[in-house]
Structure 1
Amino acid sequence: MDQRPVIAAVDGSENGNRALEWAIAQALRSGAPLRIVHARLYASSIGSVMAGGFEQPGQDDDPVLIRVRAALAGRIGLPVIEYASHPGTPDNVLPELGGGAQMMVLGSRGRGGFASLLLGSNGLACASRAACPVVVVPSGEPALRDPYDQVVLGLNSAAPDDSTSHFAFREASRRGARLQVVVAHTWPGPVFAPGGTLTTAAAVAQDETTTGSAVTALAEAHLRPHRARHPDVVVEVVTAPGDAAGHLVAASRAADLIVIGRHRKRLLSPHLGSVTNAVLLHTACPAAVVPLEEDAVPVTA
């Protein structure tokens, strides 16, 4: 059992409180301790350091953590909880905390966020840089419904990642949920045959069917060892032509969690990929961004 903590990043916002509740449930589900953290700037820090008398404030005088502790006081059925206050801006502090955690959970938009910005800078920073999986809980009123009992995995059949797939299978197993694997592939669109003639609709459809079959075979080959490791998880593979982000966002409307891999790092593009970013912006359920295998902290079963 993975005893690394689940980190809940709080900021006093309503969305942050929703993320905290999700993190509490996750810690209980995984049998892990919960670490509640708050990153904040202190108005007197610069002056105190210059005067040589700076002392880092701790959790006992952090107003956000004081309110969280009061709200949880006397509540039964909680995991083991520890609190930590860190000086600095959240987008700089939070990603550095993921090295010793099994996941980090935060809201999509915190205090001071503009309503039009569905994903704040803190969520982007953590999702793109933290060493552990980052779960972003969308803003808005929580739906009063039973769980869908479904986890969705967005799989890139051309470059599948074992860390991302392992995370999705593990979370589906923990929940006793189905796993829907969504694999998108390019729709051929209008195709011109040699001589400049437009191919028939039947030919294009046949090409799409052939492509879909090939993509499904690649996905199944990648998933085979994960199925063997988690025989309790019922898996459905869905291949569809067109926009991957659109298919994943649609699938999120009937899911408890959607799992996607972090964009592979490139020299001139250290940020999230377009599909990952689009899913985080528009997802209807919590979304987990998993560091790819070469970036990840070793995964514990």
Structure 2
Amino acid sequence: MTREDVVLVGLDGSAPSLHALDWAAAEATTHGLTLQIVCSYALPSFTAASLDGGYAALDDTAIQEGAKAVLAEAQERADARGVRSTASVATGDAAGVLVEMSRSARLAVVGTRGRGGFADRLLGTVSSALPAHAYCPTVVVPLRAQSTGDELALPEPRPVRRIVVGVDGSPAADLALRRAIREAKAWGAELTAVAGVPIGASAGALAWLPAAIDHEAVLRDVAEGLDVVVERALIDLPGVEVKRHVLDGTGAALLTEFSTATDLIVVGSRGRGGFAGLLLGSTSQAVLHHSACPVMVVTQRCADDETPHTGRVSGVGDLHPEV
């Protein structure tokens, strides 16, 4: 798979998508990439029944003009930030279009929600579908905007100074760790690797463990495994200091909590069972829904950009759920 030096951004003209564009522009600047801005729309096969039993064709000229206006505004925003960009209108389901275009992109970026009403629900599915199916890492950027009178003020995207990556010893998490190291190096950011082990009484996930088990020993074992995973990744990607934390709790809860004081969460995902190709893992889904900061999802489909170890490390990931 040949990748171009672009950050792919899906746009629909909504405030969340413009905020995602601003974040993508900062990412493109940091990595020396070009923005590839796409606005897509889908037309029904018919729009209204005519009197003779046929169907009236829809003139999509106005829709195209609206999409072009959205792209023009987007390119003006990119130009104002000194970022090179290209823009195009595509017809088809937004998620499907972006998934296909992700084959040749370095990164895909979308906002969390689309426009109001029922359309909001449809467009909102893009931020769930794209991370699960994309061929490159995907960043979902939440909008925490404040209203100023009749307008919605878009905050400036925060520079990435703190990155937290979830690690459980799986190949998917290895991919996420390696990508997080690359991001930390590009941004000059502080990187923390977190492994969650739900052994506390309130967690309930490991209720099957013997009551006499030494919880501290479990945490130490996982910490040793985390060190092995991190040091192995740093052999190929040196020059970044990685802090490590092994904590009592689920990966989803811990990463969501960290998101309130972090600029980027990076998580791997491999899904489960027969629906592995359709669904994100439970942790990545939960973090996407609740994170206060942008979330980067790295799936196994992104493996052509990395060279991770394919085995598991004893002690990391053996005791906690799907990432």
TM-score (norm 2): 0.76
Matches within 5 A, 1:162-177: 162-177=174-189
Matches within 5 A, 1:100-119: 100-112=104-116
Question: 1:299 aligns to what?
Answer: 305
Give the gaps of 5 or more residues in structure 1: 191-197
Q: Secondary structure at the match of 1:285?
A: coil
1:221 to 223, 228, 231: 228
> Deviations 1:15-48 (Å, cap 9, x if unpaired)?
00000001111111111111000110246x657x
Q: Does 1:271 align with 2:275?
A: no
Contact 1:3 1:31 in 2 (8 A): no
Give the gaps of 5 or more residues in structure 2: 48-53, 146-153, 203-209, 308-323
- Do the aligned partners of residues 267 and 145 (structure 1) sit closer, same or farther apart at CA in structure 2, a change above 3 Å counting? closer
Once the two structures are TM-superposed, the CA of residue 95 in structure 1 deviates from its matched residue by 1.6
Deviates more, 1:225-234 or 1:138-147: 138-147
Q: Secondary structure at the match of 1:267?
A: helix
Q: Secondary structure at the match of 1:275?
A: helix
* Cα separation, 1, equivalents of 2:12 and 2:127: 12
Contact 1:6 1:32 in 2 (8 A): yes
Over 6 Å off, 4+ runs: 53-59
Question: 2:24 aligns to what?
Answer: 23
Q: Does 1:73 align with 2:85?
A: no
Q: Secondary structure at the match of 1:236?
A: strand
Contact 1:157 1:215 in 2 (8 A): no
Contact 2:18 2:74 in 1 (8 A): no
Question: 2:197 aligns to what?
Answer: 185
Once the two structures are TM-superposed, the CA of residue 62 in structure 1 deviates from its matched residue by 4.1
* Cα separation, 1, equivalents of 2:136 and 2:224: 30
Q: Which amino acid aligns with 2:72?
A: R
- Do the aligned partners of residues 146 and 188 (structure 1) sit closer, same or farther apart at CA in structure 2, a change above 3 Å counting? closer
Once the two structures are TM-superposed, the CA of residue 54 in structure 1 deviates from its matched residue by 9.7
* Cα separation, 1, equivalents of 2:184 and 2:192: 10
Deviates more, 1:229-238 or 1:22-31: 229-238
Once the two structures are TM-superposed, the CA of residue 56 in structure 1 deviates from its matched residue by 9.1
Once the two structures are TM-superposed, the CA of residue 140 in structure 1 deviates from its matched residue by 2.1
- Do the aligned partners of residues 54 and 144 (structure 1) sit closer, same or farther apart at CA in structure 2, a change above 3 Å counting? closer
- Do the aligned partners of residues 33 and 55 (structure 1) sit closer, same or farther apart at CA in structure 2, a change above 3 Å counting? farther
Contact 1:151 1:168 in 2 (8 A): yes
Q: Which amino acid aligns with 1:218?
A: G
Matches within 5 A, 1:115-194: 120-141=124-145, 147=159, 149-157=161-169, 161-187=173-199, 189=201
* Cα separation, 2, equivalents of 1:26 and 1:210: 40
- Root-mean-square deviation (CA, aligned residues, Å) is 3.3
Contact 2:178 2:233 in 1 (8 A): yes
Matches within 5 A, 1:51-70: 61-70=64-73
> Deviations 1:143-167 (Å, cap 9, x if unpaired)?
6796461111011135564321111
Question: Aligned residue pairs: how many?
Answer: 280
- Do the aligned partners of residues 274 and 185 (structure 1) sit closer, same or farther apart at CA in structure 2, a change above 3 Å counting? same
Once the two structures are TM-superposed, the CA of residue 274 in structure 1 deviates from its matched residue by 1.1
Q: Which amino acid aligns with 2:268?
A: G
Question: 1:89 aligns to what?
Answer: 93
Once the two structures are TM-superposed, the CA of residue 112 in structure 1 deviates from its matched residue by 2.7
Q: Secondary structure at the match of 2:274?
A: coil
Q: Secondary structure at the match of 1:298?
A: helix
Q: Secondary structure at the match of 1:82?
A: strand
- Do the aligned partners of residues 135 and 71 (structure 1) sit closer, same or farther apart at CA in structure 2, a change above 3 Å counting? closer
Once the two structures are TM-superposed, the CA of residue 92 in structure 1 deviates from its matched residue by 2.5
Q: Does 1:281 align with 2:289?
A: yes
> Deviations 1:170-193 (Å, cap 9, x if unpaired)?
011111001111100130649xxx
Contact 1:164 1:260 in 2 (8 A): yes
- Do the aligned partners of residues 169 and 62 (structure 1) sit closer, same or farther apart at CA in structure 2, a change above 3 Å counting? farther
- Do the aligned partners of residues 23 and 113 (structure 1) sit closer, same or farther apart at CA in structure 2, a change above 3 Å counting? farther
- Do the aligned partners of residues 18 and 113 (structure 1) sit closer, same or farther apart at CA in structure 2, a change above 3 Å counting? farther
TM-score (norm 1): 0.81
Contact 2:265 2:293 in 1 (8 A): yes
Question: 1:195 aligns to what?
Answer: none
> Deviations 1:72-101 (Å, cap 9, x if unpaired)?
439444222111211112133222211000
- Do the aligned partners of residues 42 and 90 (structure 1) sit closer, same or farther apart at CA in structure 2, a change above 3 Å counting? same
Contact 1:263 1:276 in 2 (8 A): no
Q: Which amino acid aligns with 2:25?
A: I
